[in-house]
A and B are shown apart, each in its own frame.
Chain A
């Protein structure tokens, strides 16, 4: 009996360590996105870069992905996204790379470390999650519109369904790839957890990027958390998310600045070829002067339909930040002409209403035609 048990145990144990080392691979790919955009907005704001109604833009990136597997089953690798534009990249950072990080992955989860998007951005669900074309309410409309309304160059609106560290400070999204460490659990029965830490939202990349711990607008010791669920109830696909972030506000102002504390919750439902979804996000008093008590929140709602190579979506975002109101309705469609070749069209109707009643609001329409090539 013992021999039988030993024998069968030995047989199974021979298969138990089924972790096979795989030689590392380096994959080079990327995308090119060409856009033609026409914007109509208040004449007051058709100045500078917004003085021409019709414009062309080209956004190019090269992705280098390294992936390997050790003998003990540990997966590891790196992702490097290089900007390959003939100008400053879209985030106006002037940097050569947008994201660079390494990762390790095992049965216990995945750890990412580097300049990358964090847990709150990657785990959230909202109407932009299923938006087509350039991304609807989280798309490229804003590159053709003047959103510096009454803000003196500082963003005073919540223009995208993001929490503060992903929405950026003076530019859209300029702190969303601050150097950080993130951990994700495997998905157990549809549920996944994420946790991330960023020492300073103003630091990105090498030691050359180190900034003061008292830079107004930056946050220090930022923790991000996320909970994401993906499953099915009867024939309906259900996706839900809850994300949040907290941190210390860096300031050298005698007025003081409220610390970072924000959260967002989202829900997406899919049935047949249709998807409906929405979200609500609240920034609390993040970044406000101590004693200020103005609302900072947003909500989204939208729907999409996909049939074969064609997809269409209608998405809506409404936000308020320190009595600066914003809304955007975006209708978009795309068509997979061939694998990796996707022409698209999108129209967005937006309005920015500043708190200061002496400042004119900006209301307009942005129409985009574009083609994306992924390789």
Chain B
């Protein structure tokens, strides 16, 4: 019996350590919300005097933990889009119209090819159809940039990544 307990404990600890490793992005039907103690649930449903920021907060980005600034569109989608395309130069970002336009970006790992994104965030709700990404691609031929085809799949994949990030932001904010 003692040996069985030792084996179970060791297996459980190994499983715990493995679970701490990141893995590929989860599907959209997976929620990362975890149980709270019953008395915490009871207290949290009454809200808090200072909101989710508690009595005071140290470190981090306090702006992230305040209520969303006044935007014309969903704040999580807006922030998630900016996070996701942060490495690309922006031409325009309109938080009220929900439009983000990037400039042409050439990845150093894939020369003679460049991309541009138009991102449209629609409405104030965090919905699966609340973001639309249009991807434009050009290739360098005879020293001139020419339009090149790109699959529709790329735009949908980028939309999924923005939605996943938006859900993470919402869960983090709810978790306090």
Interface residues of A (CB under 8 A from B): 3-4, 6-8, 10-12, 14-16, 18-20, 22-31, 63, 65, 67-68, 72-74, 99, 104-111, 113, 116-117, 119, 121-123, 128-129, 131, 135, 138, 181, 183-184, 186-189, 192, 194-195, 197, 221, 223, 226, 228, 248, 334, 336, 338-342, 372-375
Question: Hey, which chain A residues are within 8 Å of B30, CB to CB?
Answer: 107, 186-188
| Residue from A23, A30, A73, A374 with most neighbouring chain B CB atoms (10 Å) | A374
Given contacts A30-B55, A181-B16, A339-B48, contact A8 B151 (CB under 8 A): yes
Question: Hey, which chain B residues are within 8 Å of A19, CB to CB?
Answer: 22
Asked whether B70 is an interface residue with its Cβ less than 8 Å from the other chain, the reply is no
- A29 touches which one: B8, B33, B55, B83 (CB < 8 A)? B55
Given contacts A3-B113, A108-B21, A228-B35, contact A342 B46 (CB under 8 A): yes
- Which residue of B is nearest A373, CB measured? B49
What would be 19 A-B contacts, judged by CB atoms less than 8 Å apart?
A7-B115, A8-B154, A10-B107, A11-B115, A12-B158, A28-B54, A29-B54, A29-B55, A105-B32, A106-B23, A107-B26, A121-B38, A122-B35, A122-B36, A188-B29, A223-B8, A336-B47, A339-B49, A372-B46
Q: State how many angstroms separate the Cβ of A298 from the closest Cβ of chain B.
A: 16
Given contacts A135-B42, A189-B29, A375-B49, contact A23 B61 (CB under 8 A): yes
Chain B, 61-94, CB within 8 A of any chain A CB: 61, 65, 83-85, 87
Question: Hey, which chain A residues are within 8 Å of B39, CB to CB?
Answer: 135
Question: Hey, which chain A residues are within 8 Å of B15, CB to CB?
Answer: 183
Establish whether residues A128 and B38, one from each chain, have CB atoms under 8 Å apart when the complex forms: yes
Complex alpha-carbon distance, A10 and B35, angstroms: 38
Complex alpha-carbon distance, A350 and B66, angstroms: 45
Establish whether residues B25 and A65, one from each chain, have CB atoms under 8 Å apart when the complex forms: no
Q: State how many angstroms separate the Cβ of B33 from the closest Cβ of chain A.
A: 6
Question: Hey, which chain B residues are within 8 Å of A129, CB to CB?
Answer: 38, 41
Asked whether B5 is an interface residue with its Cβ less than 8 Å from the other chain, the reply is yes
Q: State how many angstroms separate the Cβ of B145 from the closest Cβ of chain A.
A: 13
Interface residues of B (CB under 8 A from A): 1, 5, 8-9, 12-13, 15-16, 18-26, 29-39, 41-44, 46-51, 53-61, 65, 83-85, 87, 107, 109-110, 112-113, 115, 135, 137, 139, 148-151, 154, 157-158, 161, 164-165, 172, 175-176
Question: Hey, which chain B residues are within 8 Å of A226, CB to CB?
Answer: 35
Establish whether residues A339 and B176, one from each chain, have CB atoms under 8 Å apart when the complex forms: no
Establish whether residues B110 and A339, one from each chain, have CB atoms under 8 Å apart when the complex forms: no
Q: Which 9 A-B pairs have the closest CB atoms?
A: A25-B60, A29-B54, A340-B49, A122-B35, A339-B47, A342-B46, A108-B19, A27-B54, A375-B49
- The dominant DSSP class at the A interface is strand
- A12 touches which one: B35, B41, B59, B157 (CB < 8 A)? B157
- Besides the contacts A15-B158, A375-B55, what 10 more A-B pairs have beta carbons closer than 8 Å? A10-B110, A11-B135, A30-B55, A106-B21, A107-B23, A107-B24, A119-B35, A192-B34, A341-B46, A372-B43
Question: Hey, which chain B residues are within 8 Å of A23, CB to CB?
Answer: 59-61
- Which residue of A is nearest B35, CB measured? A122
Complex alpha-carbon distance, A239 and B173, angstroms: 24
Establish whether residues B107 and A341, one from each chain, have CB atoms under 8 Å apart when the complex forms: no
Establish whether residues A25 and B110, one from each chain, have CB atoms under 8 Å apart when the complex forms: no
Question: Hey, which chain A residues are within 8 Å of B161, CB to CB?
Answer: 15-16, 18
Complex alpha-carbon distance, A326 and B135, angstroms: 67
Q: State how many angstroms separate the Cβ of A92 from the closest Cβ of chain B.
A: 16
Complex alpha-carbon distance, A119 and B47, angstroms: 25
| Residue from B22, B36, B151, B164 with most neighbouring chain A CB atoms (10 Å) | B22
Q: State how many angstroms separate the Cβ of A348 from the closest Cβ of chain B.
A: 16
Q: State how many angstroms separate the Cβ of A124 from the closest Cβ of chain B.
A: 8
Establish whether residues B49 and A374, one from each chain, have CB atoms under 8 Å apart when the complex forms: yes
